[in-house]
Amino acid sequence: MNSPLLFLVFLAAGWGILYLVHWVAYIPIARVFNVSFPHAPLVLGVLAASYFLASLGVRTLNSMVTDWLYFATATWLGVIFLLFSFVLVYQLTHVATGFDSRLVLGCLLVLVLTLSAYALVHGRQLIVRELTVSIEGLSAPIRLVHLSDIHVGTVHQKKYLERVVALTNEQKPDLVLVTGDLFDGSAPIDKEILTPLNGLTAPSYFSNGNHEEYEGLERVKKTIDNLDMQLLDNELVEQGELQIVGVNDRQSLRTTTLASVLSSLPIDSDRPTLLMYHTPVDWDVAREHGADLMLSGHTHNGQLHPFNLLVRLFFKYINGLYEVDGQYLHVSPGTGTWGPPMRLGSRNTITVITLDPA
């Protein structure tokens, strides 16, 4: 199946799922409160398509109006999934027992609105978390900041990136590593919006994520070529006592594997090695090739209920620090948001990891 056709199939499937979600949310509300919208199927169909239409708008028109429309429809996307998750339980209870209550359903609607407002506020906030790991081969501690999934675009623009850089610099790191999805994909990639990254006070490195793959790796490379941040495109660099390896996201490795890329690099097994690899998979491969610490992101720790439940079905490692025989994996919950500009059950995080000599 060629790429345009695959994309259309993806859009159709996405719209179908959202249309079903809207209907499930609408049916009990209409029944219990005895209300109905004129041309409800058409209205719900448009609402289901609104996020896709707004995404197309910001990619083609790129104006303040389309930015606000995108923000509104992305927010609605979060609200409708929250509404769906609560109302689905109510509807299933009704089907099983015949129970109906305006009071109960009304309280659920108020709860959804309250949680949505809470999630919107937390979607703009940043927190700092600190971890310590022991690494063999170091003569002195190294303080690094792990950023991932900043998703610079329509929602998280230049001012948000300035906040990320300022808070990162406050941690006084020796090193800053960004493991993919610097770009959001909601707006055309732009050199100007990335200039705050030149304000990082520590050496910084970046590896590609799946959103860089969607944008086109060559376009991404040209966009960041004026930054002080160095892109590691299946490459290894030495930074003091460390070896830092950046491997493209698994979606970019169509004709090879992580094992093949790591085998092709001159990794010195006697030196501490950090691996930047966007999706938290193949950690066993990374350990076999000497990665003392693998840094990943991608999962957003679910970002927003009920997606946190779905993420756990697909990924074994979704958030935080994991350890096997003195080798570590850190999965960032993300420093920004994608889709709904909301966080519920997760936070936008800057992670400070102190590497202590073992």
Nearest Cα to Cα of residue 262 among 246, 250, 278 = 246
**Domains: count for the chain:** 2
Residues 92, 46 share a domain: yes
Residues 221, 195 share a domain: yes
For the residues 155-160, what does the mean pLDDT come to? 94
Whether the Cβ atoms of residue 149 and residue 212 lie closer than 8 Å to each other: no
For the residues 43-72, what does the mean pLDDT come to? 92
d(CA 295, CA 176): 12
Residue tagged 């490692």 (tokens): 317
Residues 169, 275 share a domain: yes
For residue range 297-335, list pLDDT tens digits in order: 999 999 998 888 889 899 999 999 999 999 999 999 999
Whether residue 109 is predicted with pLDDT greater than 60 in this model: the reply is: yes
d(CA 290, CA 268): 8
Q: How confident is the model at residue 2 (pLDDT cuts 50, 70, 90)?
A: low
In the chain, pLDDT over 70 holds for what percent of residues?
A: 99
pLDDT of residue 3: 64
DSSP H or E run through 129: strand 127-135
Residues 346, 332 share a domain: yes
d(CA 197, CA 216): 21
Query: For residues 251 and 296, which has the higher predicted lDDT (pLDDT)?
Result: 296
Domain of residue 50 covers 3-122
Residues 143, 107 share a domain: no
pLDDT of residue 305: 82
Residues 138, 104 share a domain: no
For the residues 30-42, what does the mean pLDDT come to? 90
Residues 282, 243 share a domain: yes
For the residues 187-201, what does the mean pLDDT come to? 91
Whether residue 181 is predicted with pLDDT greater than 90 in this model: the reply is: yes
For the residues 28-37, what does the mean pLDDT come to? 91
CATH assignment of the domain containing 292: 3.60.21.10
DSSP 57-82: HHHHT--HHHHHHHHHHHHHHHHHHH
For residue range 245-277, list pLDDT tens digits in order: 999 998 887 778 999 999 999 999 999 999 999
Whether residue 138 is predicted with pLDDT greater than 90 in this model: the reply is: yes
For residue range 202-236, list pLDDT tens digits in order: 999 999 999 999 888 999 999 999 899 999 999 99
DSSP 5-41: HHHHHHHHHHHHHHHHHHHHHHHHHHHHHT---TTHH
pLDDT of residue 196: 96
